[in-house]
Amino acid sequence: HLIKHGLRTETGLVIETGAALEVHHFATLAGYGAEAVNPWLAFETIAANLSDFESKIDIETANKNFINAVGKGLKKVMSKMGISTYQSYCGAQIFDAVGLSTKLVDEYFK
């Protein structure tokens, strides 16, 4: 809708989702324009399972470790594609939709 009306570049997208758990999920969201992602389910899962680990770290440290790991993973993905900044990657849509028809991609993945 924003692209169709010429407003996408004037709008920032912040995604709050329970589905983003792996680096690939974050990379895909970024590729379609997400400038920030709040993976609430990942944070809740970390909090729920923190007591199961032998090393006693606090929730803030555990969340920071997750964020750092995702950040490093995104840097690795972008470097393999020859992209050096998140801004260049964000919204670039430089991946293929394998197994989806061109009509579907054109309609729902502008």
Distance CA 45, CA 19 (A): 12
Q: How confident is the model at residue 3 (pLDDT cuts 50, 70, 90)?
A: confident
Q: Is the pLDDT of residue 81 over 90?
A: no
Angle at 79 between CA 72 and CA 7, to 5 degrees: 90
- What predicted TM-score, i.e. pTM, was given to this entire model? 0.81
42: left (phi over 0), alpha (psi -120 to 50) or beta: alpha
